[in-house]
Amino acid sequence: MADGTGLSPARLALQRKEQLFTERASWLPAWREIAEFMRPRSARFMPSDRNNGNKRTQAILDNAVLIAGRTLASGMMSGMTSPARPWFRLALADRDLMQYGPVKQWLHDCREVLLSVFAKSNTYNALHQGYSQLGYFGNWACFIEDDFDNVQHCYPLVVGEYALDTDGRGRVVSLAREMQQTAAQVVEEFGRDAVSQTVRNLYDGHRYNALVPIVHLVEPNRDRDPRLMDSRHKRWASRYIEAGNNRDTFLRESGYDRFPALTPRWEVEGQDVYGTGPGADAVGDVKQLQQEQLRKAQAIDYQSNPPIQVPTAYKDSARSRLPGGVMFVDASSPTGGIRNAFEVPLQLGDLREDIAEVRQRIRAAFYADLFLMVANDQRSGVTASEIAEKHEEKMLMLGPVLERLHHEELTPLVDNAFERAAKAGILPEPPRELQPGMRLDIEFISTLAQAQRAVQAQSTDRLLGTIGSVSAIFPEARDKIDIDAVIDSYADLYGTDPKLVIPTDQAQALREQRAKAQQMAQLGAAVPELAKTAQTLGATDGGNVQDVLNRFTGYGTPSPQDVRS
């Protein structure tokens, strides 16, 4: 049904997609340049780019930027979302409740379920591709959909395939993408009745690999009725349209309660929709490096195989000028032999030095020197503490980027996975202390996140060191330290498994038991000495052994007057 514009909903969706792509157009030249000189296969600007295996690296003569980008992606992957270690934890705003044993264990078990979901799905593969896209182009987009076998499945996109839009607070809330699917994929995904007659003909004619242009638009559902619970009235509308067939219907119209895509940006200026990354900063150096490598190769070629001038008499003696050839030169004509056409003094040392400097600037732009800091430090006698301090200091350079990626990428990723895991019924039963609807927070404890928080641990270390020194003179200084709070603080900073840290109430009970056991042991050790003393006193006149023992244990023998009374 058409609205006041006279256009059907499907036509309006296509019109909205065109608006987003038109607004994106000014960014395309910069992305094309980055793709040409840095990462040719990580962009799709034309429909023909799909599955195109043609050579695209003609502009790349020096692969320093490819290695730097690979180092950045690998460093971000291992530092932020390593599959080998926990990189986040679930938390509560109520810190006291969070420290309660059953609640803490439930939060830990839920995290283990989510980490298992990420490991079994293609999440980590998608994240690695995303860090590469962010490093080169400053933007990334990835759809996350339900999956029966693995709870969720990621569909990563590359620059050029999609367009974004933001709300008044700068949050990405709309995404339009163009894609090409085969006729077989379209029919199997949307059903035979939903596709056009053209696609049916392709499918029935066994032309399964014929490509069909598809548009997918996700944006806030401004026409929804919150009272209705069906998929078409959710917060975000999702619409698939078969482009190019003048159709007025959707392939599929549905919706989401939560924005279904990850859309992180490396660095955003002002009200820009799209971000910029290290690739934009390094593009000038990369182009200079390629030009210098070309000139160096030409200089070497001039020196190893220079142009020469040859008398016309040698016109048919080309073979004799090859290595091992013999030429006969008339000695009476010293200027008539073969010699260089011109003399060019080529100083390759200066060129090599400048190339090394440009390479270093490229590595610095992609933070490769940061991630390979230990490997590049060839000094002897470097201590572990010195390396740790340098690592934490350099990690501060990534602070703003980490905060943005935590907010725009990892928090939505964990939120989506938690909701899907809850819907799939694979989360453990929550303890009674957790009220329904209680908000869960996400805290990141990856290597890079911990490096950002290491300042707090260092301050605690310095405090404990100072207290230790002062207590040697003033022992009462130790009374100012709550050791249970210190241990809990360290465990929170390091993301330690709660099973390894005993709750404070249980620790206090253990201390009381230990104190009683020590008292009993001391009393047991004193009994033989008391018995020996009693025997000695019993040998004296007027000595009463029982009276002596009673006095040592706090009791006295009643006097005869007390007994008579």
Average pLDDT on 229-244 reads: 89
pTM of the model: 0.78
User: DSSP assignment of 183-248, as one string?
Assistant: HHHHHHHH-TTTS-HHHHHHHHTT-TT-EEEEEEEEEE-TT--TT--SGGGSSEEEEEEETTS---
Rounded Cα distance, 396 and 391, in Å: 9
Average pLDDT on 93-102 reads: 83
Q: Say if residue 523's pLDDT is above 60.
A: yes
> Which residue did the predictor score with more confidence, 331 or 207?
207
> Which residue did the predictor score with more confidence, 186 or 556?
186
DSSP 265: B
pLDDT of residue 97: 86
**pLDDT one-digit tens code per residue, 500-512:** 777 777 777 887 8
The mean predicted confidence, pLDDT, of the chain is 82
pLDDT of residue 399: 82
Let me know if 475 is exposed, middle or buried by CB neighbors in 10 A (0-12, 13-18, 19+): exposed
**pLDDT one-digit tens code per residue, 167-185:** 999 999 999 999 899 999 9
C-alpha distances in Å from residue 409, one per residue of 87, 134, 171, 406: 13, 11, 12, 6
Rounded Cα distance, 240 and 191, in Å: 13
pLDDT of residue 563: 47
Instruction: Please tell me the least confidently modeled range out of 95-104, 170-179, 348-357, 468-477.
Output: 468-477
Rounded Cα distance, 5 and 7, in Å: 5
pLDDT of residue 303: 79
**pLDDT one-digit tens code per residue, 435-452:** 777 888 998 888 777 766
pLDDT of residue 151: 94
Count other C-beta atoms under 10 Å from residue 526's C-beta.
11
Closest by CA position to 365, among listed 181, 135, 202: 135
Closest by CA position to 212, among listed 226, 231, 232, 197: 197
Helix, strand, coil percentages (3-state) for the chain, rounded to 5, are 55, 15, 35
Average pLDDT on 228-247 reads: 85
| Residue 251, both tokens | 């392939």
Average pLDDT on 178-197 reads: 92
Closest by CA position to 106, among listed 92, 122, 93: 92
DSSP 435: P
**pLDDT one-digit tens code per residue, 44-88:** 888 767 777 777 888 899 999 999 999 999 999 988 999 988 899
Q: Say if residue 325's pLDDT is above 80.
A: no
Average pLDDT on 449-475 reads: 72
